[in-house]
């Protein structure tokens, strides 16, 4: 979903008006917020953070789809995999990560992120 679509849905769901959003966002007037909702302009980083606070959502939730479309390093398969992953429940995502990390030979770190591959044990020098 594009950023402007996400913003329009959140605006409608939250009951906030364009004027309400413009008041909550630094350096943004009604015309600017309207341009974001139409998809004519993109908000800056500080403005995205302020939008996220206004809607009560993480900033990443606003930018997730935008980031995937702007990342030229990702293959189409990676985009497809990410889209499928996002469609899963939290429990299913956890199970999929367990399988994927096992297949890749990596370990998941404390924050749930894959840790670096182990290079084997190191013997202490004396």
Beta carbons within 8 Å of 37's beta carbon, 6+ residues apart: 4, 7, 8, 11, 18
Is pLDDT above 50 for 124? no
State the average pLDDT for the chain.
78
Is pLDDT above 80 for 32? yes
Q: 75-120, pLDDT tens digit by residue?
A: 777 767 777 787 888 888 888 888 888 888 877 655 455 555 444 4
Average pLDDT for 21-47: 91
pTM across the whole model: 0.52
DSSP 107: -
For the chain, the farthest-separated pair of C-alpha atoms sits apart, in whole angstroms, at 70
């Amino acid at each position: 979903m594009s950023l402007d679509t996400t913003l329009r849905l959140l605006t409608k769901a939250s009951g906030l008006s364009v004027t309400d959003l413009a008041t909550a966002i630094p350096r943004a007037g009604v015309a600017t917020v309207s341009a974001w909702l139409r998809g004519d302009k993109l908000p800056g980083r500080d403005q995205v953070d302020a939008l996220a606070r206004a809607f009560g959502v993480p900033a990443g939730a606003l930018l997730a789809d935008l980031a995937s479309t702007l990342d030229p390093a990702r293959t189409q398969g990676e985009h497809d995999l990410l889209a499928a992953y996002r469609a899963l429940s939290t429990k299913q995502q956890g199970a999929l990560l367990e399988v994927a990390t096992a297949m890749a030979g990596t370990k998941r770190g404390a924050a749930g992120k894959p840790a670096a591959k182990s290079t084997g044990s190191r013997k202490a020098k004396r």
